[in-house]
Amino acid sequence: MKHRINSLLLVIVLIFGINRSYGQESTSLLWEISGKGLAKPSYLYGTIHMLCPEDFEIKEKTKRAFERSTKLVLEINFSDTAELKALQRSAVGDKKISEQLTAEQLNKLELILKENQMTLAQVDQFSGMTLMSLLIMKSLPCPQQKYYEFEFMRMAKQAGHSMGGLETVNEQIGAMNQSFSLTDIIVQYGNIAEYRSFFNKMVAAYKAESYVAIGEMVRDRRYMTAQAEQLMLTDRNHQWIERMPVMMQRESVFFAVGAGHLGGPEGVINLLKKEGYTVKPVNQ
Protein backbone atom coordinates (compact mmCIF):
# COMPACT_ATOMS: atom_id res chain seq x y z
CA MET A 1 0.00 0.00 0.00
CA LYS A 2 2.86 2.38 0.84
CA HIS A 3 4.48 1.75 -2.57
CA ARG A 4 1.12 2.37 -4.26
CA ILE A 5 0.71 5.72 -2.50
CA ASN A 6 4.28 6.69 -3.34
CA SER A 7 3.62 5.87 -7.01
CA LEU A 8 0.43 7.93 -7.01
CA LEU A 9 2.16 10.87 -5.42
CA LEU A 10 5.07 10.65 -7.80
CA VAL A 11 2.54 11.30 -10.56
CA ILE A 12 1.10 14.41 -8.93
CA VAL A 13 4.42 15.99 -8.00
CA LEU A 14 5.96 15.35 -11.40
CA ILE A 15 3.26 15.12 -14.06
CA PHE A 16 3.15 18.86 -14.61
CA GLY A 17 6.48 19.10 -16.40
CA ILE A 18 4.61 20.83 -19.21
CA ASN A 19 4.92 24.25 -20.75
CA ARG A 20 5.21 26.39 -23.87
CA SER A 21 8.07 26.25 -26.36
CA TYR A 22 9.17 29.18 -28.47
CA GLY A 23 11.03 28.38 -31.65
CA GLN A 24 13.65 25.91 -30.47
CA GLU A 25 14.26 23.43 -33.31
CA SER A 26 16.28 20.69 -31.62
CA THR A 27 14.55 17.38 -31.04
CA SER A 28 16.42 16.06 -28.06
CA LEU A 29 15.50 15.30 -24.49
CA LEU A 30 19.15 15.22 -23.37
CA TRP A 31 21.28 18.37 -23.07
CA GLU A 32 24.89 18.93 -22.05
CA ILE A 33 25.73 21.84 -19.73
CA SER A 34 29.29 23.18 -19.83
CA GLY A 35 31.31 26.38 -19.56
CA LYS A 36 31.33 29.07 -16.89
CA GLY A 37 34.19 27.41 -15.04
CA LEU A 38 32.72 23.90 -14.82
CA ALA A 39 35.48 21.29 -14.56
CA LYS A 40 33.20 18.66 -16.10
CA PRO A 41 29.92 18.91 -18.00
CA SER A 42 26.59 18.16 -16.38
CA TYR A 43 23.46 16.89 -18.13
CA LEU A 44 19.82 17.88 -18.29
CA TYR A 45 17.24 15.24 -19.23
CA GLY A 46 13.53 15.79 -19.82
CA THR A 47 11.17 13.09 -18.60
CA ILE A 48 7.51 12.38 -19.16
CA HIS A 49 7.59 10.70 -15.75
CA MET A 50 5.08 7.92 -16.43
CA LEU A 51 4.65 5.57 -19.40
CA CYS A 52 3.28 2.16 -20.24
CA PRO A 53 6.07 -0.45 -20.26
CA GLU A 54 5.99 -0.88 -24.05
CA ASP A 55 6.65 2.85 -24.54
CA PHE A 56 9.36 3.16 -21.91
CA GLU A 57 12.95 3.48 -23.13
CA ILE A 58 16.25 4.90 -21.93
CA LYS A 59 18.44 5.44 -24.98
CA GLU A 60 22.14 4.60 -25.11
CA LYS A 61 23.17 8.27 -25.31
CA THR A 62 21.29 8.87 -22.06
CA LYS A 63 22.92 5.88 -20.39
CA ARG A 64 26.36 7.15 -21.43
CA ALA A 65 25.67 10.61 -20.01
CA PHE A 66 24.40 9.04 -16.81
CA GLU A 67 27.57 6.97 -16.50
CA ARG A 68 29.74 10.07 -16.96
CA SER A 69 27.99 11.85 -14.11
CA THR A 70 28.47 11.20 -10.40
CA LYS A 71 25.23 12.57 -8.96
CA LEU A 72 21.54 12.18 -9.85
CA VAL A 73 19.31 15.16 -9.10
CA LEU A 74 15.54 14.87 -9.57
CA GLU A 75 12.90 17.50 -8.91
CA ILE A 76 12.54 15.94 -5.46
CA ASN A 77 15.02 13.71 -3.66
CA PHE A 78 13.03 10.50 -3.30
CA SER A 79 15.94 8.79 -1.56
CA ASP A 80 15.44 11.13 1.42
CA THR A 81 13.27 9.47 4.09
CA ALA A 82 12.00 12.81 5.38
CA GLU A 83 10.85 13.77 1.88
CA LEU A 84 9.06 10.45 1.44
CA LYS A 85 7.23 10.95 4.72
CA ALA A 86 6.18 14.44 3.61
CA LEU A 87 4.95 12.93 0.34
CA GLN A 88 2.88 10.34 2.18
CA ARG A 89 1.36 12.97 4.46
CA SER A 90 0.27 14.97 1.44
CA ALA A 91 -1.81 12.03 0.19
CA VAL A 92 -4.54 12.69 2.75
CA GLY A 93 -6.68 15.82 2.65
CA ASP A 94 -7.42 18.13 5.57
CA LYS A 95 -11.12 17.58 4.87
CA LYS A 96 -13.03 14.85 3.10
CA ILE A 97 -13.53 15.46 -0.61
CA SER A 98 -17.29 15.09 -0.17
CA GLU A 99 -17.31 17.95 2.36
CA GLN A 100 -15.75 20.37 -0.14
CA LEU A 101 -18.13 19.93 -3.07
CA THR A 102 -21.65 21.02 -3.92
CA ALA A 103 -24.28 18.34 -4.54
CA GLU A 104 -23.93 18.88 -8.29
CA GLN A 105 -20.15 18.60 -8.18
CA LEU A 106 -20.33 15.51 -6.00
CA ASN A 107 -22.73 13.85 -8.43
CA LYS A 108 -20.36 14.63 -11.31
CA LEU A 109 -17.40 13.22 -9.38
CA GLU A 110 -19.27 10.02 -8.54
CA LEU A 111 -20.04 9.51 -12.24
CA ILE A 112 -16.37 10.03 -13.10
CA LEU A 113 -15.28 7.58 -10.42
CA LYS A 114 -17.81 4.98 -11.54
CA GLU A 115 -16.51 5.27 -15.10
CA ASN A 116 -13.07 4.47 -13.71
CA GLN A 117 -14.15 1.56 -11.49
CA MET A 118 -13.78 3.55 -8.28
CA THR A 119 -16.15 4.73 -5.56
CA LEU A 120 -16.33 7.90 -3.49
CA ALA A 121 -15.68 5.87 -0.34
CA GLN A 122 -12.33 4.77 -1.78
CA VAL A 123 -11.09 8.32 -2.42
CA ASP A 124 -12.97 10.50 0.06
CA GLN A 125 -10.05 10.81 2.49
CA PHE A 126 -7.54 11.67 -0.22
CA SER A 127 -6.26 15.13 -1.09
CA GLY A 128 -7.26 16.72 -4.36
CA MET A 129 -3.79 16.07 -5.73
CA THR A 130 -4.04 12.36 -4.99
CA LEU A 131 -7.44 12.26 -6.67
CA MET A 132 -5.92 13.94 -9.72
CA SER A 133 -3.10 11.40 -9.86
CA LEU A 134 -5.59 8.53 -9.75
CA LEU A 135 -7.58 9.96 -12.64
CA ILE A 136 -4.42 10.51 -14.69
CA MET A 137 -3.21 6.97 -14.05
CA LYS A 138 -6.61 5.59 -15.01
CA SER A 139 -6.33 7.37 -18.35
CA LEU A 140 -3.39 5.19 -19.37
CA PRO A 141 -4.23 2.02 -21.35
CA CYS A 142 -2.03 -0.19 -19.13
CA PRO A 143 -2.61 -1.42 -15.56
CA GLN A 144 1.05 -0.96 -14.60
CA GLN A 145 3.22 2.03 -15.43
CA LYS A 146 6.96 2.67 -15.49
CA TYR A 147 8.58 5.81 -14.09
CA TYR A 148 11.80 7.40 -15.28
CA GLU A 149 12.50 8.70 -11.78
CA PHE A 150 12.36 5.22 -10.24
CA GLU A 151 14.55 3.77 -13.01
CA PHE A 152 17.15 6.54 -12.68
CA MET A 153 17.21 5.99 -8.92
CA ARG A 154 17.84 2.28 -9.49
CA MET A 155 20.66 3.13 -11.91
CA ALA A 156 22.15 5.63 -9.45
CA LYS A 157 22.17 3.09 -6.65
CA GLN A 158 23.79 0.50 -8.90
CA ALA A 159 26.46 2.96 -10.07
CA GLY A 160 27.13 4.38 -6.62
CA HIS A 161 25.92 7.86 -7.57
CA SER A 162 24.75 10.20 -4.83
CA MET A 163 21.23 11.63 -5.13
CA GLY A 164 19.60 14.98 -4.52
CA GLY A 165 16.63 17.19 -5.33
CA LEU A 166 16.00 20.65 -6.76
CA GLU A 167 13.18 21.36 -4.32
CA THR A 168 11.29 19.92 -1.37
CA VAL A 169 7.97 18.10 -1.36
CA ASN A 170 6.40 20.93 0.61
CA GLU A 171 7.53 23.50 -1.96
CA GLN A 172 6.09 21.53 -4.85
CA ILE A 173 2.85 20.54 -3.14
CA GLY A 174 2.37 24.17 -2.10
CA ALA A 175 2.56 25.27 -5.73
CA MET A 176 0.11 22.55 -6.74
CA ASN A 177 -2.41 23.45 -4.08
CA GLN A 178 -2.38 27.05 -5.31
CA SER A 179 -2.74 25.89 -8.92
CA PHE A 180 -5.50 23.28 -8.84
CA SER A 181 -8.77 23.20 -6.92
CA LEU A 182 -11.09 20.22 -6.62
CA THR A 183 -13.41 21.95 -9.07
CA ASP A 184 -10.54 22.30 -11.55
CA ILE A 185 -9.73 18.61 -11.21
CA ILE A 186 -13.30 17.51 -11.85
CA VAL A 187 -13.59 19.73 -14.91
CA GLN A 188 -10.14 19.06 -16.35
CA TYR A 189 -9.96 15.31 -15.82
CA GLY A 190 -13.63 14.38 -15.96
CA ASN A 191 -13.49 13.23 -19.58
CA ILE A 192 -11.09 10.32 -19.37
CA ALA A 193 -11.47 9.36 -23.04
CA GLU A 194 -10.52 12.88 -24.09
CA TYR A 195 -7.54 13.00 -21.76
CA ARG A 196 -6.41 9.54 -22.91
CA SER A 197 -6.33 10.74 -26.52
CA PHE A 198 -4.41 13.84 -25.43
CA PHE A 199 -1.89 11.78 -23.46
CA ASN A 200 -1.34 9.34 -26.34
CA LYS A 201 -0.37 12.24 -28.61
CA MET A 202 2.02 13.49 -25.97
CA VAL A 203 3.62 10.04 -25.70
CA ALA A 204 4.15 9.95 -29.47
CA ALA A 205 5.85 13.36 -29.34
CA TYR A 206 7.97 12.22 -26.41
CA LYS A 207 9.16 9.09 -28.17
CA ALA A 208 10.21 11.32 -31.08
CA GLU A 209 12.13 13.46 -28.53
CA SER A 210 10.18 16.49 -29.69
CA TYR A 211 9.87 18.49 -26.51
CA VAL A 212 8.88 21.42 -28.72
CA ALA A 213 5.83 19.48 -29.96
CA ILE A 214 5.01 18.50 -26.39
CA GLY A 215 5.16 22.13 -25.34
CA GLU A 216 2.88 23.24 -28.16
CA MET A 217 0.38 20.46 -27.42
CA VAL A 218 0.07 21.06 -23.73
CA ARG A 219 -0.62 24.76 -23.98
CA ASP A 220 -4.22 23.57 -23.99
CA ARG A 221 -5.86 25.49 -21.15
CA ARG A 222 -8.16 22.56 -20.39
CA TYR A 223 -5.33 21.11 -18.35
CA MET A 224 -3.25 24.07 -17.22
CA THR A 225 -4.41 27.61 -16.54
CA ALA A 226 -2.15 30.64 -16.95
CA GLN A 227 -1.86 30.86 -13.16
CA ALA A 228 -0.89 27.19 -12.90
CA GLU A 229 1.73 27.65 -15.61
CA GLN A 230 3.27 30.52 -13.68
CA LEU A 231 3.29 28.64 -10.38
CA MET A 232 4.08 25.14 -11.58
CA LEU A 233 6.57 25.98 -14.30
CA THR A 234 7.98 29.50 -14.52
CA ASP A 235 8.46 30.17 -10.82
CA ARG A 236 9.95 26.75 -10.17
CA ASN A 237 12.32 26.98 -13.16
CA HIS A 238 13.77 30.21 -11.79
CA GLN A 239 14.14 28.66 -8.36
CA TRP A 240 15.97 25.66 -9.80
CA ILE A 241 18.37 27.90 -11.72
CA GLU A 242 19.41 29.44 -8.42
CA ARG A 243 20.19 25.99 -7.00
CA MET A 244 21.81 24.17 -9.93
CA PRO A 245 25.15 26.07 -10.20
CA VAL A 246 26.55 25.09 -6.80
CA MET A 247 25.74 21.43 -7.53
CA MET A 248 27.48 21.54 -10.92
CA GLN A 249 30.56 23.25 -9.48
CA ARG A 250 31.07 20.33 -7.12
CA GLU A 251 30.66 17.46 -9.58
CA SER A 252 29.06 16.23 -12.81
CA VAL A 253 25.31 16.11 -12.25
CA PHE A 254 22.58 14.32 -14.20
CA PHE A 255 19.44 16.43 -13.76
CA ALA A 256 16.13 14.72 -14.65
CA VAL A 257 13.05 16.96 -14.70
CA GLY A 258 9.77 17.12 -16.60
CA ALA A 259 10.41 17.67 -20.32
CA GLY A 260 8.17 20.72 -20.40
CA HIS A 261 10.49 22.55 -18.03
CA LEU A 262 13.18 22.60 -20.71
CA GLY A 263 11.85 24.90 -23.43
CA GLY A 264 10.67 28.46 -23.85
CA PRO A 265 12.12 31.81 -22.77
CA GLU A 266 11.46 30.90 -19.14
CA GLY A 267 12.56 27.29 -19.58
CA VAL A 268 15.59 25.78 -17.89
CA ILE A 269 17.67 25.63 -21.09
CA ASN A 270 17.27 29.32 -21.86
CA LEU A 271 17.70 30.35 -18.23
CA LEU A 272 20.98 28.42 -18.02
CA LYS A 273 22.19 30.15 -21.17
CA LYS A 274 21.31 33.51 -19.65
CA GLU A 275 23.50 32.58 -16.69
CA GLY A 276 26.43 32.09 -19.06
CA TYR A 277 26.46 28.32 -19.51
CA THR A 278 26.82 26.53 -22.84
CA VAL A 279 23.81 24.25 -23.29
CA LYS A 280 23.67 22.01 -26.34
CA PRO A 281 21.55 19.02 -27.38
CA VAL A 282 23.03 15.53 -27.25
CA ASN A 283 21.89 13.64 -30.33
CA GLN A 284 24.28 10.69 -30.40
**Residues 71-98: pLDDT tens digits?**
999 999 999 999 999 999 999 999 999 9
pLDDT in tens, 206-254: 999 987 777 677 667 777 888 988 998 999 999 999 999 999 999 999 9
CB 30 within 8 A of CB 245: no
CB 21 within 8 A of CB 215: yes
What is the spatial distance between Cα 170 and Cα 206, in angstroms, rounded to a whole number? 28
* Containing structural domain, residue 177: 2-281
CB 47 within 8 A of CB 148: yes
pLDDT of residue 49: 79
Mean pLDDT, rounded, for 3-21: 49
Question: How many structural domains comprise the chain?
Answer: 1
How much is the pTM?
0.90
Q: Please report, as a single letter, which amino acid is at residue 175.
A: A
Q: Confidence band (pLDDT; 50, 70, 90) for 9?
A: low
pLDDT of residue 278: 98
